[in-house]
Structure formats: structure tokens, C-alpha cells
Structure 1
């Protein structure tokens, strides 16, 4: 049987590792042509080297208007149409207690996690409208947006903002037949989570009914479903994938 994403072009940010890399692999398996975007070009190239379908690796700083515009142009040059699937997976952490957090760390997280998501959504959705193409956008928020971890004021605020962007865009883009949804991962076994102190990870596992970290592929499968026609009436949703956290 043909894959549920056969022939679709999927643009994935943060594609060089973790959840982003898993998304590229699962969508490639399902038939999509992958545009793997990451600030680290070598990591994006490593991702596409593992795929079984046509792919393009791009160096992209999602917090830069110029970089996002160039990424869109490169995608259009290769595929002659905008990607019908856009996944905002790029994200960073700069954890610290509220009273000790440097302004530069707040700004860095905001620029990548929230502004970066906004810029990619705006540029790529506008292109879909101009080309009169339908599409779907999936944004990576986090369960932290709901449970509000100590030491993550910047990350929590940015990921809460992603939920709001998702819901506003779902209402505005619906008339163009562009669906927008958000996925809220729990604690997933990624390089980002590997940097969390052991005590914090132990506390997270203790509060998770499944008593384990999630796998990047478990997030990727949900995102691939949302990108497919099987999810054709899901719009403006926030889907938790947390093991019950």
C-alpha cells in the first residue's frame, strides 16, 4: 500500500537530532520528500543520509527572517511548490531560577522557540496561499506549558506561546484549507532531556504512570498522523503525548 504521505513535501525544523530527526525518518517511511532544516547543517545532512526517500538538508536559523526566507526559496527551487507539511520542531532550553535568569537566556529561548515558530508559520503558510495549495502545520509545544516547571520560566512561556500561535493560526488559516495543530511531548529520551539534572529526571519518571521516558519515534508517529489525510478534520488541537504525565 502507498504510504499516507506519499508525494508530499515535508519541511521539518530541528531536524538534526532528537524528535526532529525521528519525524524525518517516520515521514520518509510514509512516503514524504523531506526538507531537513537545522542550524547545524552537518546534523541535518546526517539525518537525510539515513532516509530512504528524496531529501534536502538546509542550514536554517529559525529566529532569522532572512534565514527562513532563504529556506523557503531553496525548497521552492527544488520542488517547484511549497511544502504541504510544515513541522516546527526546533527548540532550545536555557534553564535557571526566575531570579537568576539572565535576560540573554530569556531572549535566546524566546527567539528560537516562539519567534522561530511564528516566522516559519508566516512565511510558509503565505507561500501555500500564494500557490493556492492546501497544507498542514504541526508545532511542537511541550507539556511544560501546562505543568510549569521550576527553573523554566523562559521555556514555559515560549511553549505556552506556541499553543496560542497554533490556535490563532488554525482560525485564520482554515479558510485556506491549511490545518494547524500542536503536539505537547512529555519527557522524551532526547539530547535536550539528557541535559536535565538526574534528580529532575527521577521526579519526572515518578510522576509518569508509564514510569519511563518517551521515545522520539512515539512523538513522530503522532505528528505523521496529523500530517496525513487521516487527520483531515483535526484543526486547532493540542495533543499531549506524555505517558499520562
Structure 2
């Protein structure tokens, strides 16, 4: 699936649900890219691509899986699952010539904490 496109994500989750009869109960978000560029040389398109894949992709797939789990689990006690978001230590520490990558990985860390606080039981 193309993690940057909501329709692609929705289609992949629906196909999985249709094939197995239940929504995915485990999600590992690990799609990501990296490139080495000095901060002052990073272009808008480079930044957009990094954000779209590393951060937006994690957001979209997580959102769709959680929506599907919650829809399936209403009233039945089901709907439980686990989500693992792969980030990087540089999301906390920074790293030279990777500022756009580091920004997305820091975003994944903050997103994971916020999402867990909102939807985890």
C-alpha cells in the first residue's frame, strides 16, 4: 500500500479484514525513508516526501487500524490490538545532516505518546 494515500491505506485494511474475517490486531509501522542533506540544502519537495512517508504514513495507517478495531469491537469486548511504531533515537537526540529525518522521527515519538493516551485502555 502507499502509506501516504488514505484511500490506499483504507483499501489495504479492508482487504485484510475481508480476507481474514477480522481486522488486523497487530500493526507495525515501519515504512520510512532517510537521506543525507545539510539543513540549508533541503528542498521543499525533499521535506514533503520525508514527512509524507515517515510521519503522515504512520498517522494514516494507525488511524485506520484503530478505527477498524473500534468499529469491530463495539459491544463485544473485542477490538483489542497492539500497535508498534518504529522511530529512531535521533528523534530524541538530533543528528547532523538529517534534520528533516529527525523531525519526522521526533514527530512519530510524540504522536505515539499522544495517540496512546487518547485511545489505549
TM-score when normalising by structure 1: 0.47
2:57 aligned residue: 116
Structure number with the higher strand fraction is 1
4+ residue runs over 4 A deviation: none
2:19 aligned residue: 78
Instruction: Provide the rounded CA distance (Å) in 1 between the counterparts of 2:59 and 2:46.
Output: 19
Instruction: Provide the rounded CA distance (Å) in 2 between the counterparts of 1:173 and 1:146.
Output: 24
1:44 aligned residue: none
Instruction: Provide the rounded CA distance (Å) in 2 between the counterparts of 1:174 and 1:72.
Output: 20
Greater length-normalized contact order (CA 8 Å, ≥ 6 residues apart): 2
2:76 aligned residue: none
Q: Is the 8 A contact 1:145 1:156 kept in 2?
A: yes
Number of matched pairs: 116
2:101 aligned residue: 155
| Displacement of 1:74 | 0.7
2:46 aligned with 1:100, yes or no? no
2:8 aligned with 1:67, yes or no? yes
Instruction: Provide the rounded CA distance (Å) in 1 between the counterparts of 2:36 and 2:4.
Output: 19
In the TM superposition, 1:34-73 aligns within 5 A as 60-73=1-14
1:167 aligned residue: 113
2:32 aligned with 1:91, yes or no? yes
- 5+ residue gaps in structure 2? 74-78
User: SS at 2:35's partner residue?
Assistant: coil
Instruction: Provide the rounded CA distance (Å) in 1 between the counterparts of 2:48 and 2:16.
Output: 29
1:32 aligned residue: none
User: SS at 2:52's partner residue?
Assistant: helix
Structure number with the higher helix fraction is 2
| Displacement of 1:174 | 1.5
- 5+ residue gaps in structure 1? 1-59, 176-245
| Displacement of 1:147 | 2.1
TM-score when normalising by structure 2: 0.93
